[in-house]
Amino acid sequence: MIKRIKQFYINLTDRYGEKDDLFVRSILDDYEYSLFSKLSGSEKKHSVRVANEIKRISREKNISDTLLIKAALLHDIGKSRKRINIIDKSIIVILNSITSGKLRNINTAKVQCYYNHSEYSYDMLKDYEDNERLLYIIKNHHRDIYDDEEMMIFQFADDKS
């Protein structure tokens, strides 16, 4: 619960700015940037925080971070299908916890976007992006996959951010 309160506060206060935009533009091409630009400011900032955490971990482990940073910036673009403000998201997170995931069965655009955004992100990129590994990470970033170090790094960074 403390983690969720911290995330709520960060989403309210940590703003996407010019420095973030320059960083994103240095990684994404024009088409990818156009998809990224449709996200809310808090979702953009979340993606940048994930990318920065991946950079930090990659430096510590002395591994390449190029693919994971790009995945970090694109992994939530499916959330642009139906914008969910911070209050809606908080309510969905609480109800998800209370109902042990049964909220997933409610067929509203916001609830479905919350649960299926990774699939939506994949769908938005699959006809454009040739890198199957990138698509795999984006599509599966909320699945329990324990035998893939890159995925585990990505999920750790996403969960922390």
Can you give the residue ranges of every domain in the chain?
2-160
Tell me the average pLDDT across 14-27: 94
Provide the token pair at 147: 């035998």
Q: What is the pLDDT of residue 90?
A: 86
- The answer to whether 59 and 79 have CB atoms below 8 angstroms apart is no
Nearest residue to 116 via CA among 154, 155, 77: 77
Tell me the average pLDDT across 51-76: 97
| One CATH from 3.30.70, 1.25.40, 1.20.120, 1.10.3210 for 2-160 | 1.10.3210
> Position 147: which residue type?
D
Statement: residue 19 has pLDDT above 80: yes
Q: What is the pLDDT of residue 51?
A: 98
What span, in angstroms and rounded, lies between the C-alpha atoms of 152 and 54? 11
Q: What is the pLDDT of residue 13?
A: 75
Q: Radius of gyration (Cα) for the chain, nearest Å?
A: 15
Statement: residue 63 has pLDDT above 80: yes
Q: What is the pLDDT of residue 130?
A: 96
What span, in angstroms and rounded, lies between the C-alpha atoms of 132 and 94? 34
Statement: residue 144 has pLDDT above 70: yes
What span, in angstroms and rounded, lies between the C-alpha atoms of 51 and 67? 10
